[in-house]
């Protein structure tokens, strides 16, 4: 089915009130008609894709350059691969990614422990600064957090064995 | 090299990581001499941005020395001192050609709605950032700009984001001479937006926050009026009363997803993650602007949805303008403004922290401790 009108400039009144000054975007003022036509630009050379890059389904290609930080892995990677099958318009995509991020945090702890260092969560949370600047608030935090973390670590260590 | 390593919400540390290499003919490798922590990093730090992977390195505000360049790089050379805009932009696509360097279509495979940003999750392209000793800078012919002779590197590092973003916030407000501008947020961005509102001819500049030391700083730095929303029954009613019951001509949201001030927004947006962060400041901006007024948004939200009174946008005929700052487009003008003494960026820097103590720096900035406005991280190899 062809929905496109062949020559829209023939529509009665087409463009009579066009006003390039009335363009609220910044600065989008030197746009030509060519640029309405999708990938009209000469693309930069393509960075070699030699790792797993998850790509939005809302584009036909991998961008000419891309970041190479942390390719998807483990359970969180599986979740991310699933999420990227959905468009950016869906909750499924974004909520799955947020869930994957939470899973990834625990994978990180397991990975740390496996490589022989128990993460110093105290230091990672910047509690040294808290101790220096807000000792009374820290005392309350430590009581509650220590209990939760200990319980969690015990479970994780058992699981990873 | 040493680099920041994200381990999960509110957990960061510095670890040894492999040094970056040239992966594309237009890449450069930059040795970082200074990098900042930004309010935007707090959205990552708090786990609000989807696809923030454990092990990645944040940091999109940095300056440094070019150490290596790819075969097609002509704009900078090894040894140059450069400031690097936070947006990764190709300079060739339809969006870059229109000056929308924050919306490049050749820098992020993961999400079409988001441009490429250094160290800002896979939703912004999966790049490792500048809170490290070295960083890979793609499209080195476009972004990196040689720091002008005589410019303080502390000024330069704030030209990578804070100054252009504050400026563009005011610019998108379409401020006319004599306008009343209300700015939500007295962080670096809100403070800079207040300063820049005068450059567009504002007649009255009001900054609203709930942290007293920041309001005090904003008042002195930007010569503006400041008010604490904790001492107001209702910030919107307050604005109405302050503006002869009309509302402000322009409202600027310089807060974003971490907004405080409304229990319902905080619980649904920041605790349960049922929305893409808490939209309290945006809510107030829409309801506090006059009919026919302009709301300019630079505060960052996640990619899902937020609860905002969109019906009032229609009923009041409000224009909303928003974007990631187009740093490269604004740089020539803003470098000049800094050189002419119209803007003094480095005055915002309150904390200088060795990269190794990054966890403390994040904590202090996030919790707004120790009168912190803007922290700068110094890598051990900065003075090589
Ligand atoms: N669009 C862009 O290009 C761009 C660039 C940089 C930063 N940003 C965004 O700008 C925002 C501010 O950045 P920053 O570095 O100044 O962050 P910041 O965290 O230092 O400052 C935010 C301030 O907002 C205040 N605040 C919280 N709730 C408020 C409310 N309801 N009303 C008024 N003030 C409130 C906080 O107390 C804090 O002082 C962030 O969302 C950041 O992501 C956007
Ligand atoms: Zn920033
Ligand atoms: Zn581009």
Q: What is the ipTM of this complex?
A: 0.92
Distances (CA, A) of B289 to B33, B170, B252, B253, B294: 42, 15, 9, 11, 7
Residues of B within 8 A of A81 (CB-CB) are none
In whole angstroms, what is the distance from residue B351 CA to residue A45 CA? 41
Closest CA to B223 of B249, B243, B203: B203
Q: Are residues B362 and B293 in the same domain?
A: no
Report pLDDT for A26. Answer: 54
Question: Is the Cβ–Cβ distance between B220 and B194 less than 8 Å?
Answer: no
Residues of B within 8 A of A24 (CB-CB) are 319, 321
- Protein residues within 5 Å, CB atom, of ion ligand 2: B 38, 40, 61, 161
Question: Is the Cβ–Cβ distance between B20 and B244 less than 8 Å?
Answer: no
Q: Identify from B89, B111, B172, B355 which residue to disrupt to test chain A contact, counting A C-beta atoms within 10 A and taking the largest count.
A: B111
Q: Are residues B208 and B340 in the same domain?
A: no
In whole angstroms, what is the distance from residue B364 CA to residue B66 CA? 31
In whole angstroms, what is the distance from residue B201 CA to residue B242 CA? 19
In whole angstroms, what is the distance from residue B114 CA to residue B105 CA? 9
Q: What is the CA radius of gyration of chain A?
A: 26
- In this structure, the residues whose C-beta lies within 6 A of any atom of ligand 1 are B 38-40, 42-43, 161, 165, 184-190, 208-211, 214, 229, 254-256, 259-261, 280-281, 298-300, 324-325
- Asked whether residue A130 is domain-assigned, the answer is no
Q: Are residues B355 and B252 in the same domain?
A: no
Question: Is the Cβ–Cβ distance between B343 and B334 less than 8 Å?
Answer: yes
> Which residue puts its alpha carbon closest to atom 26 of ligand 1?
B185
In whole angstroms, what is the distance from residue B307 CA to residue A33 CA? 36
Looking at the 3D structure of chain A, how many domains does it have?
1
Question: Is the Cβ–Cβ distance between B57 and A69 less than 8 Å?
Answer: yes
CA angle B348, B227, B36 (to 5 degrees): 20
Burial B101-131 (b: 16+ CB within 10 A, else e): bbbbbbbbbbbbebbbbbbbbbbbbbbbbbb
In whole angstroms, what is the distance from residue B304 CA to residue B293 CA? 26
Asked if B304 lies within 8 A of A94 by C-beta distance, the reply is yes
Asked if A125 lies within 8 A of B11 by C-beta distance, the reply is yes
Choose the closest CB to A129 out of B171, B321, B363: B363
Locate tokens 């000792």: which residue? A135
Report pLDDT for A16. Answer: 77
Q: What is the CA radius of gyration of chain B?
A: 20
Report helix, strand or coil for B320. strand
Q: Are residues B187 and B308 in the same domain?
A: yes
Asked if B109 lies within 8 A of A76 by C-beta distance, the reply is no
Residue B369 forms contact with A (CB below 8 Å): yes
Q: Are residues B152 and B66 in the same domain?
A: yes
In whole angstroms, what is the distance from residue B124 CA to residue B187 CA? 23
Pocket test for ligand 1, best of B35, B38, B215 (most atoms within 8 A of CB): B38
Closest CA to B8 of B59, B48, B37: B48
In whole angstroms, what is the distance from residue B91 CA to residue B309 CA? 37
Q: In the sheet that B248-253 helps form, which strands lie side by side, from edge to edge?
A: B225-228, B204-209, B180-184, B248-253, B289-297, B319-322
Asked if B92 lies within 8 A of A70 by C-beta distance, the reply is no
Report pLDDT for B363. Answer: 97
- Asked whether residue A151 is domain-assigned, the answer is no
- Asked whether residue B372 is domain-assigned, the answer is yes
Mean pLDDT by 10 residues, chain B (384 residues): 98 98 98 98 96 98 98 98 98 91 97 97 98 98 97 98 97 92 98 96 96 98 97 96 96 97 94 92 98 96 94 96 95 96 97 98 97 98 86
Report pLDDT for A23. Answer: 61
User: Considering every ligand atom, which ligand is closest to the CA of B189?
Assistant: 1
Q: Are residues B19 and B75 in the same domain?
A: yes
- Count, residues in chain A: 161
Q: Are residues B45 and B127 in the same domain?
A: yes
- Asked whether residue B29 is domain-assigned, the answer is yes
| 3-state DSSP percent of chain B in helix, strand and coil, to 5 | 35, 25, 45
pLDDT tens track, chain A, 161 positions: 557 777 878 878 787 777 766 666 555 455 555 556 678 899 999 999 999 999 999 999 999 999 999 999 999 999 999 999 999 999 999 999 999 999 999 999 999 999 998 999 989 999 999 999 999 888 887 888 888 888 888 988 888 77
What is the 8-class DSSP label of residue B19? P
In whole angstroms, what is the distance from residue B376 CA to residue B62 CA? 9
- Asked whether residue A157 is domain-assigned, the answer is no
Looking at the 3D structure of chain B, how many domains does it have?
2
Domain membership of residue A67 as a residue range: 12-119
Q: In angstroms, what is the span from residue B292 Cα to ligand 2's centroid?
A: 30
The CATH number of the domain where B67 resides is what? 3.90.180.10
Locate tokens 């808290």: which residue? A130
Domain membership of residue B92 as a residue range: 2-161+326-378
Report pLDDT for A24. Answer: 62
Report pLDDT for B381. Answer: 93
- Asked whether residue B91 is domain-assigned, the answer is yes
Q: Identify from B94, B130, B294, B298 which residue to disrupt to test chain A contact, counting A C-beta atoms within 10 A and taking the largest count.
A: B94
Burial B175-186 (b: 16+ CB within 10 A, else e): beeebbbbbbbb
What residues contact residue A35 under an 8 Å CB cut-off, 6+ apart?
B94, B97, B98
Min Cα distance A30 → chain B (Å) is 7
Closest CA to B284 of B311, B317, B309, B321: B309
Over the stretch A88-130, which tens digit does the pLDDT of each residue have? Answer: 999 999 999 999 999 999 999 999 999 998 999 989 999 999 9
Residues of A within 8 A of B98 (CB-CB) are 25, 27-31, 35
Q: Are residues B101 and B216 in the same domain?
A: no
Give a three-class secondary structure readout of B26-75: CCEEEEEEEEECCHHHHHHHCCCCCCCCCCCCCCCCEEEEEEEECCCCCC
What residues contact residue A32 under an 8 Å CB cut-off, 6+ apart?
none
Asked if A65 lies within 8 A of B92 by C-beta distance, the reply is no
- Asked whether residue A78 is domain-assigned, the answer is yes
Chains A & B: contacts with CB separation below 8 Å:
208
- Asked whether residue B383 is domain-assigned, the answer is no
CA angle B29, B25, B157 (to 5 degrees): 35
- Asked whether residue B263 is domain-assigned, the answer is yes
Helices (H), B309-357: 310-316, 327-339
Report pLDDT for A22. Answer: 62
Question: Is the Cβ–Cβ distance between B9 and B121 less than 8 Å?
Answer: no
Q: Are residues B140 and B240 in the same domain?
A: no
Closest residue of A to B138, CA-based? Answer: A65
The CATH number of the domain where B168 resides is what? 3.40.50.720
Q: Are residues B81 and B187 in the same domain?
A: no
CB-neighbour burial class of residue B286 (10 A; exposed 0-12, middle 13-18, buried 19+):
buried
- Asked whether residue A140 is domain-assigned, the answer is no
Q: Are residues B336 and B299 in the same domain?
A: no
Q: Are residues B155 and B205 in the same domain?
A: no
């Amino acid at each position: 089915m062809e929905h496109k009108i062949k020559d829209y400039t023939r529509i009665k009144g087409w463009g009579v009130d066009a006003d390039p000054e009335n363009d609220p975007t910044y600065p989008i003022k030197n746009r030509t008609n060519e640029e309405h036509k999708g990938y009209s630009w000469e693309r930069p050379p393509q960075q070699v894709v030699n790792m797993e890059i998850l790509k939005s389904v809302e584009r036909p290609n991998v961008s000419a350059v891309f970041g190479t930080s942390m390719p998807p892995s483990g359970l969180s990677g599986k979740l991310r691969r699933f999420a990227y099958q959905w468009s950016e318009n869906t909750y499924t995509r974004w909520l799955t990614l947020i869930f994957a991020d939470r899973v990834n945090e625990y994978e990180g702890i397991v990975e740390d422990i496996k490589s022989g260092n128990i993460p110093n969560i105290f230091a990672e949370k910047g509690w040294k600064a808290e101790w220096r600047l807000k000792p009374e608030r820290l005392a309350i935090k430590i009581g509650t957090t220590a209990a939760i973390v200990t319980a969690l670590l015990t479970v994780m260590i058992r699981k990873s064995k | 090299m040493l680099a920041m390593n994200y381990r999960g919400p509110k957990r960061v540390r510095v670890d040894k990581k492999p040094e970056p290499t040239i992966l594309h003919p237009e890449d450069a490798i930059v040795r970082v001499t200074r990098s900042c922590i930004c309010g935007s990093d707090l959205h990552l730090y708090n786990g609000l941005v989807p696809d923030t992977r454990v092990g990645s390195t944040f940091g999109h505000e940095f300056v440094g020395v070019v150490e290596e360049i790819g075969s097609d790089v002509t704009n900078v050379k090894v040894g140059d001192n450069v400031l690097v805009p936070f947006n990764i932009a190709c300079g060739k696509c339809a969006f870059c050609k229109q000056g929308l360097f924050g919306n490049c279509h050749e820098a992020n495979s993961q999400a079409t709605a988001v441009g490429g940003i250094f160290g800002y999750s896979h939703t912004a392209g999966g790049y490792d950032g500048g809170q490290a000793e070295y960083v890979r800078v793609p499209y080195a012919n476009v972004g990196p700009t040689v720091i002008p002779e005589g410019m303080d590197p502390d000024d330069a590092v704030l030209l990578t984001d804070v100054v252009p973003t504050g400026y563009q916030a005011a610019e998108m407000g379409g401020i006319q001479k004599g306008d009343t501008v209300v700015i939500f947020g007295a962080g670096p961005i809100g403070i800079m937006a207040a300063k820049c509102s005068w450059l567009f001819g504002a007649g009255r500049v009001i900054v609203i926050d709930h942290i007293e030391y920041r309001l005090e700083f904003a008042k002195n730095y930007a010569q503006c009026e400041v008010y604490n929303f904790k001492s107001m029954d209702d910030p919107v009613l307050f604005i109405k009363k302050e503006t002869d019951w009309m509302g402000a001509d322009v409202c600027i949201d310089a807060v974003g997803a971490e907004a405080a001030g409304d229990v319902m927004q905080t619980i649904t947006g920041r605790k349960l993650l049922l929305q893409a962060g808490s939209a309290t400041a945006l809510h107030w901006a829409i309801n506090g602007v006059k009919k026919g007024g302009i709301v300019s948004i630079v505060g960052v939200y996640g990619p899902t949805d937020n609860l905002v009174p969109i019906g009032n946008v229609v009923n009041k005929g409000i224009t909303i303008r928003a974007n990631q700052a187009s740093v490269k487009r604004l740089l020539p003008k803003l470098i000049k403004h800094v050189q002419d003494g119209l803007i003094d960026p480095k005055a915002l820097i309150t904390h200088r922290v060795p990269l190794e103590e990054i966890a403390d720096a994040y904590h202090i900035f996030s919790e707004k401790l120790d009168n912190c406005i803007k922290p700068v991280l110094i890598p051990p190899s900065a003075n090589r």
